[in-house]
Amino acid sequence: MSAESDPLPEAIPAATLVIFRERDDGPPELLMVERAKAMAFAGGALVFPGGRIDPGDRTLAALPPHDRFDDADARIAAIRETVEEAGLAIGLDPLPTADTLARMRAALHAGEPLAEALKAAGTTLLLDQLVPFARWRPAHRGMRLFDTWFYLARAPEGMDASVDRTENVRLSWMRAADVLADADAGRATIIFPTRRNLERLALFNSFEDAVVDARAHPIGVITPWTEDRDGVPHLCIPDHLGYPVTAQPTDSAFRG
């Protein structure tokens, strides 16, 4: 059996959160984290906070009132990963104090289930604070595959983000257009799905604009494919899901 005919590995369910911070002088800023170079997936790249869905997320997702969401496990994972990676409490009610959030974050890093960490913090999940934006499931051979939900959310007022210094080495608030400019100038690395999402996010002047756009387009599973265009291989995505750029030459596309 050839490598091309080998079955693809099963995709790892995951979720990520696009966090908006509104500014008075132009488009909103988005929270980006830089992956440690040693990471097997997207090492050294700028990404949105997120990670894989774990068994504890699925257990919580099966309980009311969360079970009314078909994608509850992904929403829960996005909230948990954001606490772990960025120290931000999104989708929690009431919002924990800084000290309580720090204890919650440390407990999650130590492997405590999210349900127990929530109980100790005296807070609960508000999954409807996350707005579905996209779902990506690449199918590239020779690399780890993720089936990732992307959600939109506002940053909590007055709460500072901080890097976890485990999977990520730094974080920054940046406008989408500035991240793209840094990538084009060689000052930053972004993988193909991140670039496509940043191009779409750069269209919006506010969180509300992004929410309107997200609700105006279907959440179809995006699996990029390769096709020749004028004799040049391109990596392509569907053209009806709200993305302004739907193809890129494969030799310039970083897949992670």
State the average pLDDT over residues 223-245. Answer: 96
**Mean pLDDT computed over 40-55:** 84
Task: Kindly report the average pLDDT of the chain as a whole number.
Answer: 91
Confidence of residue 38 (pLDDT cuts 50, 70, 90): low
Model confidence pLDDT, tens digit, residues 94-114: 999 999 999 999 999 999 999
**Cβ atoms of 229 and 212 closer than 8 Å:** no
Domains of the chain (ranges; CATH) run 3-217 (3.90.79.10)
Instruction: Give the per-residue pLDDT at 43.
Output: 63
Q: Which residues pair with 226 in a beta bridge?
A: 235
Q: Is the dihedral of CA 203, 206, 211, 213 positive or negative?
A: negative
Residue 256 has pLDDT above 80, yes or no: no
Convert the pLDDT of each residue in 108-146 to its tens digit: 999 999 999 999 999 999 999 999 999 999 987 667 789
| Residue 5: predicted pLDDT | 47
Report the half-sphere exposure of 3 (CA within 13 A, side-chain side). Answer: 4
Q: Has residue 1 got a pLDDT over 70?
A: no
Q: Is the pLDDT of residue 9 over 80?
A: no
Report d(CA 198, CA 205) in Å as an integer.
13
Average pLDDT over residues 7-25: 89
In our burial notation (b when 16+ CB lie closer than 10 A, e otherwise), range 2-16 reads: eeeeeeeeebebbbb
**Residue 65 preceded by cis peptide, ω within 30:** yes
* Predicted confidence band of residue 195 (pLDDT cuts 50, 70, 90): very high
Q: How far is CA 250 from CA 89, 96, 224, in A?
A: 38, 45, 11
CA atoms of 143 and 8, how far apart (whole Å): 10
Each residue's pLDDT tens digit, 77-98: 999 999 999 999 999 999 999 9
Q: Tell me: the pLDDT tens digits for 171-190?
A: 999 999 999 999 999 999 99
